[in-house]
Amino acid sequence: MRTDPPQPAPSGEPAAPPPAARSADDWTIGRLLSWTTDYLKRHGAESPRLDAEVMLAHVLGYERVQLYTHYEDVVGEGPRKRYRELVKRRAEGAPVAYLVERKEFYSLRFDVTPAVLIPRPETEYVVLGFLEAAKGLEAPTAVDVGTGSGCLAVSCTKHHPSARFVAIDVSPEALDVARRNAERHGVADRIEFLEGDLLAPVAGRPAFDLIVSNPPYIPTGDIEGLEPGVRDFEPRLALDGGADGLDCYRRLVEQAIPLLKPGGRLILEIGEAQDEDVRGLLARHPEYRILPTVRDLQNYPRVVHAERAD
């Protein structure tokens, strides 16, 4: 018969060891993962086992797979103490990516802090769109608007050997994170980082081959209803898209016209209900040729593409 896990003490470990435990020496990697998974599940975590593994691997300096090759190893009090603190903060709603200060995106590791939006798998469709559009171009030039962690500019540059980017963000703290990620992946010499609002820092420059962006697109009134880990921890600046979520799109669509070469591509991530609205904004400008919208694995509209007409 299944029994509920022991209730947690304020420290984040059980109030008393489970019946099978004889001493602190019984806190093996396997037992810590099992207990933490149950604990986080009771606190509403969507992926409690994954969260437990990522945090413990971080504390121990392991890759996740190494946890299973050391499953019976006993975890000492020092690492357990650090792990308890992470588990406690996770149960309070802090995103795992901020707790371990990293997130994988497009098979690359990115440093993240609360100054930047946590990269999402859906945003990888922007990278795929860039690589497809830039496939036949030698030394394409591009802009990443609202670069945040730099996940778009860095991933695109890493996977296109001659691409050069300008990465723009209004937040100097975000730019610091993006620079570190560019240096980590050896592409800092091909990315210029500029502080400023949308495309203003490159106004008047020669036109680019591509402009990509994952702009803020959550309507202001919807933010309070977001999942607490997003609402309470991720930067509001990277979420709030104004009353209807389209403030940045209106400005970007117009600002990009003189900054795209003929045939140049504008690639914009969108919210799942914004395809018609964003395509409508583009349709107001005859300078654009609107291409098919890319849908994600859940069949939601995810990335809008438009070309600068010749």
Task: Say if residue 175's pLDDT is above 90.
Answer: yes
Give just the sign of the alpha carbon dihedral 305, 169, 285, 264: negative
pLDDT of residue 26: 84
Question: On the CB side of 159, how many CA atoms lie within 13 Å of its CA?
Answer: 21
Tokens of 102: 């990293």
Domain with CATH 3.40.50.150 in the chain: 102-308
142/2 Cα distance (integer angstroms) = 57
Mean pLDDT of 264-268: 98
Task: Say if residue 294's pLDDT is above 70.
Answer: yes
Provide CATH code, domain 102-308: 3.40.50.150
Cα–Cα nearest to 127, from 145, 111, 105, 112: 105
Phi/psi of residue 202, nearest 5 degrees: -115, 10
Task: Say if residue 222's pLDDT is above 90.
Answer: yes
Q: What is the pLDDT of residues 100-155, one digit of tens each?
A: 999 999 999 999 999 999 999 999 999 999 999 999 899 999 999 999 999 999 99
For residue 25, what pLDDT band results from cuts at 50, 70 and 90? low
Mean pLDDT of 214-226: 96
Mean per-residue pLDDT of the chain:
91
301/293 Cα distance (integer angstroms) = 6
**Diameter of the chain measured on Cα atoms:** 75
Beta carbons within 10 angstroms of residue 12's beta carbon: 19
Question: On the CB side of 74, how many CA atoms lie within 13 Å of its CA?
Answer: 9
Residue type, 93: G
Q: What is the pLDDT of residues 90-103, one digit of tens each?
A: 999 999 999 999 99
Q: How far is CA 289 from each of CA 143, 180, 270, 282, 295, rounded to the nearest angstrom?
A: 19, 36, 18, 8, 19
Give just the sign of the alpha carbon dihedral 125, 227, 195, 180: negative
For residue 252, what pLDDT band results from cuts at 50, 70 and 90? very high
pLDDT of residue 23: 54
Fold classified for 24-92:
Helicase, Ruva Protein; domain 3 (1.10.8)
SS3 call for 141: strand
pLDDT of residue 136: 86
Cα–Cα nearest to 35, from 1, 82, 80: 80
Task: Say if residue 3's pLDDT is above 50.
Answer: no
Cα–Cα nearest to 248, from 239, 257, 260: 239
Give the contacts of 223 (CB within 8 A, at least 6 positions apart).
Answer: 231, 236, 239, 240
Beta carbons within 10 angstroms of residue 111's beta carbon: 18
Q: SS in 3 state form for 144-202?
A: EECCCCCHHHHHHHHHCCCCEEEEEECCHHHHHHHHHHHHHCCCHHHEEEEECCCCHHH
Cα–Cα nearest to 25, from 62, 88, 70, 72: 72
Task: Say if residue 17's pLDDT is above 50.
Answer: no
Tokens of 17: 């060891």
Domain with CATH 1.10.8.10 in the chain: 24-92
pLDDT of residue 299: 94
184/142 Cα distance (integer angstroms) = 20
42/47 Cα distance (integer angstroms) = 11
